[in-house]
Amino acid sequence: MKKALSFLLVLLMLSSVLSVSFHAVEDGNVIEITEDGNYTLDENDYTAVTIDGVTGTITLEDAGVFSQGRSAILVKGGSNVTFVIKGHTTVEGDSNAYSCGIEVEYGSSVTFEGDGTLNVTGGKWGAAIGSYGTDINIAENERVKVGEITINSGNINAYAGRRGAGIGAGYHVNGNTITINGGVIHAYGNECGAGIGCGYGTSGGAIGVAAVGEYDSGKIVINGGEVYAATAWNQSFDLSDLATLNANDPGSFAAGIGGGYGASASDIEINGGTVIAIGSCGGAGIGGGRGTSNPAKYNANAYRTNIKITGNADVTAISATSRSNELNSGGAAIGSGRGTHSGGTIEITGTAKVTAVSATKASAIGASKQKSPVDGAIPVAEKIVIGDNVELYAVSAADYAVDKDAAEFSVNDEYFGSSDRYFFNEAAQALSGTENIKVESTKGEKDGYAVPVGSVSLWANIKKAEITDNDAQSTSAQKGNLKIVAPLAMALRFENGGVYYSGDEAEVDYDTEYCFQMCCVDWSTRDENGEKKIHRAYETFYPNATAWNHSNHGVYEDETRGLRGTVVYRFEVSSTATRPSFDEENKKFIVPKNNAVLRTDNNKCFMAYRFKFSQGDYNKQTGIDKVVYDTGKEHVNTLEDFRYNKPLESLSVNLPLGSTVNAVAYKNYERIGDADVFVAIDSENPDRSYTDYYWPY
């Protein structure tokens, strides 16, 4: 039996809890789950969710969890939880507090499955999914640890908080076991955290008890699915674009999959699926994070890189350049980061297809050949094995693409092409040309920059498919459905007059700007003839009802029912964007087409007003023109009249920003005053989700 966790703090304060510890706070909804069972977090917004000592299933269905001062969802106490993803759910940690989007304490485990979309953002020093961290470099036995994470299916977009991994560990934290069996996963590190693995470990200049190499990404196993992992939120996965070979992050120092800055990658195993991983600024595409040239800050005995790729996996790994585009600052595409003594062990077997590109003078596969912190010698890999049935492409600006100096080197000679810089099997055409090329990147053009010589044609041939007749139409002409998420009792009015309620979908053209305004719906309970309407009967308003839609929470119509805001917003469904964004100055939402959800349930679009009375709230109510009672109808000030034209009883109502509403104060069913109220964010508390309005009565 499902146990619904529902909360409404708008017009009506109603809740139902079944065997769940539940309590409300001023600015949201806090859920505590302490008993085994199956639960649902639905379309409401929650301040925080704690799951303590529970074995069970939590369905995330169009929910929003936006934390304050802690992780948005905390799984602790040895819990074993399966999250079933339905619809579109957003979970965000607090960027000002040590927190995650979904925190998994050591000893607990989480599994994700379903066919919906989950957007998760980490908080300060925290992973999106995994652990938060600390800015203090502390002893190993005192460090925060992360629990186990498994992904079986679903569309998961994980955006790390500062110095955290997208999926895995936070700042100064070791990783644990991460297993991906399916789904479509986009995982982005942030400020020296890996996309998947661990966050910022230890820098080459850090002072503390842990040296570079002692932090580790843990065990990462990928068996299937589509996995896109990068070190920065703004990383493009358009692999036909040469700018991808240049880090558009100002300095991530981390691997796409593996170690954050100063961290090892002791156990990475890819057995299937499609994987694209991009590291930069000294971090490997797949493998270790950037190390150090300072022997005093490096632990040669602790540093490990161990990577196995097998089965029918299709893997692309890129090590991009540094923030200054230096050739001599790169990590290997697959192997170690810059500033380590070893390239570790790399085994590529089975029928795997692997493309490894280093935009620097680091090897594409093996050791980064730069700045050994141990004895100054050029680093070499311990072991490189490439099976005969592997389809391998490796390109580097180094002397050779694959680290042939590895202590153990087992590779068929037939793989080699016209130059040691290009390393591929006989299925690939030999490359020619030795001229430097002009590279266009986010930092502008740079002449004479030696991106792997001749690799342009190879890259285009591998990754840029020919356009078929079916794909010939321009991107701007492509259409898709946009899902609308709006606060309860509100709607969106598009420029063409169309009105959309939360849960509706609108067909839109990609890369086209649209305008809309926020509207309050009419909550009147009488029709035009003064008869009681049944579409919004308060008596049927229970949490186990069907999903909210406009049929049971009011209607908006121009000039007749509801209230339209004065602010004009804009949005565009982008065919190139990888994550949602908002341009505050121009009031414009950018929505990626692979996660086409327009969320207006935030402070950018509306404000919940709480009308309070200075002399107490007993038998006092607030009415708002066109929103909560019949406009233009004469009230006879009787109990029967208020029963069907019911103002608020000092609770909250969602109102569009920038609008001016006419509010009426009542006491004992009698009108005692009115005021024009301008709806704005509380200037003293801009992050708060409501504004108090005090009547002088």
Q: How far apart are the first and last CA of the chain?
A: 47
669 Cβ contact list (under 8 Å, min separation 6): 637, 638, 639, 641, 642
Note the pLDDT tens digit of each residue in 494-525. Answer: 988 899 988 888 999 998 999 999 998 887 65
470: confidence class by pLDDT, cuts 50, 70, 90: very low
Share of the chain above pLDDT 90, in %: 41
Q: Is the pLDDT of residue 33 over 70?
A: yes
Which residue from 187, 123, 116 is spatially nearest to 149, judged by alpha carbons? 187
Q: Is the pLDDT of residue 466 over 80?
A: no
Calpha distance 640→86 (Å, rounded): 42
Which residue from 488, 520, 497, 486 is spatially nearest to 625, judged by alpha carbons? 520
- pTM, full prediction: 0.64
For residue 457, the model assigns a pLDDT of: 30
Give mean pLDDT, residues 63-83: 95
Of the segments 50-59, 590-599, 607-616, which one has the largest average pLDDT value? 50-59
Q: Is the pLDDT of residue 51 over 50?
A: yes
For residue 454, the model assigns a pLDDT of: 33
Q: Please answer whether residues 653 and 663 qualify as being in contact, where contact means their C-beta atoms are separated by less than 8 angstroms.
A: no
195 Cβ contact list (under 8 Å, min separation 6): 165, 166, 167, 187, 188, 189, 228, 229, 230, 231, 254, 255, 256, 257, 277, 278
Calpha distance 82→86 (Å, rounded): 13
Q: Please answer whether residues 125 and 154 qualify as being in contact, where contact means their C-beta atoms are separated by less than 8 angstroms.
A: no
Give mean pLDDT, residues 480-499: 89
Which residue from 289, 381, 301, 302 is spatially nearest to 342, judged by alpha carbons? 381
486: confidence class by pLDDT, cuts 50, 70, 90: confident
402: confidence class by pLDDT, cuts 50, 70, 90: confident
**Helix (H/G/I), strand (E/B), else coil: 143:** coil
Q: Is the pLDDT of residue 440 over 70?
A: no
Note the pLDDT tens digit of each residue in 298-342. Answer: 999 999 999 999 999 999 898 886 555 555 578 999 999 999 999
User: Exposed/middle/buried for 463, CB within 10 Å: 0-12, 13-18, 19+?
Assistant: middle
- Residue with the bigger pLDDT between 201 and 139: it is 201
**Minimum mean pLDDT among 15-29, 446-460, 683-697: which range?**
446-460
Note the pLDDT tens digit of each residue in 138-171. Answer: 777 778 889 999 999 999 999 999 999 999 999 9
Question: Mean pLDDT across the chain, nearest whole number?
Answer: 78
For residue 148, the model assigns a pLDDT of: 98
Q: How many CA atoms lie within 13 A of 151 on its CB side?
A: 33
Q: Please answer whether residues 417 and 423 qualify as being in contact, where contact means their C-beta atoms are separated by less than 8 angstroms.
A: yes
For residue 324, the model assigns a pLDDT of: 53
290: confidence class by pLDDT, cuts 50, 70, 90: very high
Q: Is the pLDDT of residue 648 over 80?
A: no
Q: Is the pLDDT of residue 420 over 80?
A: no
For residue 564, the model assigns a pLDDT of: 87
Note the pLDDT tens digit of each residue in 672-690. Answer: 888 888 898 887 887 788 8
DSSP string of 623-660, one letter each residue: EETTTTS-TTPPP---HHHHHHS--BSS-EEEEETT-E
141 Cβ contact list (under 8 Å, min separation 6): none
Q: Is the pLDDT of residue 5 over 50?
A: no
Note the pLDDT tens digit of each residue in 538-560. Answer: 333 333 333 334 344 577 888 77
Give mean pLDDT, residues 261-286: 94
Share of the chain above pLDDT 70, in %: 75
Q: Is the pLDDT of residue 25 over 50?
A: no
Give mean pLDDT, residues 367-378: 85
**Minimum mean pLDDT among 110-124, 485-499, 627-641: which range?**
627-641
Which residue from 640, 658, 597 is spatially nearest to 157, judged by alpha carbons? 597
For residue 636, the model assigns a pLDDT of: 55
For residue 145, the model assigns a pLDDT of: 85
What are 621's two structure tokens?
Answer: 């109510």
Calpha distance 77→449 (Å, rounded): 53
Beta-bridged to residue 599, according to DSSP, are 485
What are 388's two structure tokens?
Answer: 């005969």
235: confidence class by pLDDT, cuts 50, 70, 90: low
